[in-house]
Structure 1
């Protein structure tokens, strides 16, 4: 399962944890990390269902890249309860260039492994993934 361009594989736990979030609503979010030495994407952190969006944002490192999915619950203008799953490619400006390149070249293949994501966002600083940005995309 290695990506031809980056040589990156995907640990099986990534898909099973994502399915728990998607189908069972067992988690609020998942943060994924590339383990460069092993050339594999793995689960770094799983957020409990009752964790907030602020907890999710705090789990993203200030100076390193990550992939993440967030299960966003919201109420529409018609007063309907909805849930949408966001895939976020987190690549802060101050991250190492090599790391940014590694995450960028592995993103598409990894993203395809997570079937059922509704929206995808790229972010280089926290303002780009503020709660308002999610609300705007979801509505």
Structure 2
């Protein structure tokens, strides 16, 4: 449980592991239940969906945690990384942004195998080229 007292639903870990081991989903979106006392899965990307679909699914006025199964090409060939995205747009409610910031670690700690984290407050921070550049830099 996080410092905010918000628990992570066991289903989050189960679905993440299917994503990691079986590449079952191109992305996952996590958020809070209606009572703001548990982190739950809000959306599972479907086969064939792209990074652009993930970005389009990010809400304009609310927080989300996302994990993307990001595929890219480097000098070493085709690569893949599981990227954690902490989405907290400036237009999201302050209380939600505070709860999300205080609860993030509890979710990340349960999702074993993440490559790195992106903190994003606007779409420029989840631009595909920005993500690809970071993947390539971290692979060196």
Q: How many residues align?
A: 136
TM normalised by structure 2 equals: 0.94
- The Cα shift of 1:93 comes to 0.4
Of 108, 124, 129, the residue aligned with 2:126 is 129
Contact 2:16 2:111 in 1 (8 A): yes
Separation in 1, partners of 2:130, 2:111: 22
- Partner residue, 2:21: 23
Structure 1 unaligned blocks of 5 or more:
none
Query: In the superposition, relative to structure 1, how do residues 119 and 70 fare at CA in structure 2: closer, same or farther (>3 Å)?
Result: same
Stretches of 4+ aligned residues off by more than 3 angstroms: none
TM-score, structure 1 length as denominator? 0.94
Is 1:33–1:67's contact at 8 Å kept on the other side of the alignment?
Answer: yes
**Residue among 85, 110, 114 paired with 2:111:** 114
8 Å contact 1:75–1:82 — kept in the other structure? yes
